[in-house]
Amino acid sequence: MALDKEYRKVPGTTIFDSEQSAKGYHLNQFCMSLMKAENRERFLADEDAYMDEWPLTDAQKQALRDRDLNAAMREGGNIYFLAKFGATLGLSFQQMAGSMTGMTEQEYRDMMVGGGRSIAGNRIADVAVPEVERTEAEIAAAQEQDPMLDAVRANAAADDSVGNATITGAVFTSHVPAIGAALDLGKTEEPYWKAVFDGYEFSKAWEQDNLPDVVFLVYNDHATAFDLSLIPTFVLGTGAAYPAADEGYGPRPVPGIEGDPDFAAHVAHSLIRDDFDLTLVNEMEVDHGLTVPMSLMFGQVDTWPVKVIPFHVNVVQYPVPSGERCFKLGKALRKAIESYEKPIKVQIWGTGGMSHQLQGPRAGLINREWDNAFLDRLIEDPEGLSHVPHLEYVEEAGSEGIELVMWFIARGAMSDVEGDGEIEVVHRFYHVPASNTAVGHLILNNKPSAAAAAKE
């Protein structure tokens, strides 16, 4: 079922949602650049030359040249960003707002002094014209004017296939950086590393046979994209591309990640409406937390064969989210994915863990028994396991073992959780050590019941 966007019907109003944001991304970032005095000077000295430095569309540039804020908003501009442009031109916020109303500056000011625009006549019902009363030409003209439908039309034109997205499986794996280094430096045949990579031979073959269109990849950033200046709990990547980060040893020699902005925007709408207050990010570099699982599952390739939606969870600075919260998020994620009206196949990956402690006198802690009990319960009793408190992870699985809470997002999205399907354990692997860490790996096939599959 498509998400309702009734807000598009409010007269004289453009709601800045993910679709508009994607459309106006460069326009808004261009406006942001005008926050610097030096850039304002360069813009005012030669507007076209400065605009040409940005990947703006002709329509966006023309809107700016015309000082037409309505047109700029149709092209994806947001008023708070456009206000930087207006300020550069010396306009007050009242002048900017008034310029969009068809009134003179004086008329607008007088209206505001007189109590502002009345709500009477400005509700949805006041402007809704019954379709039958409009000629086809009028309808076509109105649709042409409706910028909010552009993204929808573009999607429809690009894809005429029918059916909804399906979750085909879940992959759980550690994401130790040294595994990436071993691959990149050609050490996979060394006995120490062979024992690790052998556990993924089956996985690579399985992944090729069960290639999804998109991987929803849950991981934690390790002080790479997010340092202490910004500590979001949950981050959803809504961008088009994510380069591999330089974590201090030079960037890994792996391809960049291609995102899926349209699908990610849909997931964002659905999850946020279900009260998961996500941070959305359009530009970020991704570290070993994301690239090592990709290498383990796809090997060394020139291009990754799937699109990826990165999903970061803060497990670095406490308070970090609980297993329960992540499990509930997984359930909401299933709803979000299965309501996406394109017949794409999606895998959800949970990464991080298993037991490891990278700090202090207890560094090197490994708890095989706890790890294997975790894997057993993740399969059989994920709901019960999700109630394990943070302290148990830290005490039993080491301070960095807390990464395991992320696995619940993938597990919560499996059909058996809601009782309308089953999972099948396809592969399980456990090995100690990889650097300071116990490596755990699990692959689950997701098998929704026939009734649940038909509903999708």
Ligand X SMILES: O=C(O)c1ccc(O)c(O)c1
Length of the chain: 456
Which among 445, 449, 44, 38 is positioned nearest to 210, based on CA atoms?
Answer: 445
CB of 358 to ligand X, least distance (A): 6
Report if residue 437 touches ligand X, rule: CB under 6 A: yes
As measured in angstroms, the least distance from the Cβ of 51 to ligand X is 42
Q: Does 435 bind ligand X (CB under 6 A)?
A: yes
Query: Cα(341)–Cα(1) distance, rounded to whole angstroms?
Result: 7
DSSP string across 217-257? EEE---SSS--TT---SEEEE-SSEEPBP--SS---S-PPE
Pick the closer one to ligand X by CB: 175 or 266.
175
Strand partners, 235: 279, 312
Range list of H helices, 235-338: 261-273, 288-298, 323-338
Q: Please state the closest distance from residue 222 (CB atom) to ligand X, in A.
A: 5
Nearer to ligand X, 222 or 328 (CB): 222
- Among 20, 28, 270, 436, the residue binding ligand X under the rule CB under 6 A is 436
Q: What spatial distance separates the first Cα and last Cα of the chain, rounded to whole Å?
A: 8
What is the pattern of x (binds ligand X, CB under 6 A) and - over residues 382-411? ------------------x-----------
Q: Does 177 participate in binding ligand X (rule CB under 6 A)? A: yes
Three-state DSSP state, 386: coil
> Out of 175, 266, 269, 356, which one is annotated catalytic?
356
CB-nearer residue toward ligand X: 343 or 433: 433
CB 360 to ligand X: min, Å: 14
320 in Cβ contact with 402 (< 8 Å): yes
Q: How far apart are CA 109 and CA 87, in angstroms?
A: 18
Q: What number of helices (H) and strands (E) belong to the chain?
A: 23, 10
427 is catalytic: no
The residue among 268, 262, 304, 272 whose CA lies nearest residue 286 is 304
Phi, psi for residue 425 in degrees, rounded to 5: -80, 115
Three-state secondary-structure class, residue 391: helix
Q: Is 26 a catalytic residue?
A: no
Query: Residue 348 is which amino acid?
Result: I
Shortest Cβ 288–ligand X spacing (Å):
6
Q: Which stretch binds ligand X (CB under 6 A): 2-10, 18-26, 223-231, 433-441?
A: 433-441
Q: Using CB under 6 A, which of the segments 142-150, 161-169, 275-283, 435-443 binds ligand X?
A: 435-443
Q: Which stretch binds ligand X (CB under 6 A): 90-98, 175-183, 274-282, 336-344?
A: 175-183
Residues in region 210-239 near ligand X by CB under 6 A: 222
# residues near ligand X by CB under 6 A: 11
| DSSP bridge pairs for 434 | 437
Encoded tokens for 231: 């500590």
Instruction: Identify the active-site residue in 222, 288, 312, 441.
Output: 288
When the beta carbons of 61 and 252 are compared against ligand X, the nearer one is 252
Q: How far is the CB of 170 from ligand X (least distance, A)?
A: 19
CB of 54 to ligand X, least distance (A): 36
**What does DSSP assign to residue 8?**
G
Q: Are 297 and 442 in contact (CB under 8 A)?
A: no
Binders in 354-373 for ligand X, by CB under 6 A: 356, 358
Name the residue nearer to ligand X (CB basis): 247 or 274.
247
Stretch that binds ligand X, among 251-259, 367-375, 411-419, 434-442 (CB under 6 A): 434-442
Binding of ligand X by 176 (CB under 6 A): yes
List residues with catalytic annotation. Answer: 288, 356
Residues in contact with ligand X by CB under 6 A are 175-178, 222, 356, 358, 400, 435-437
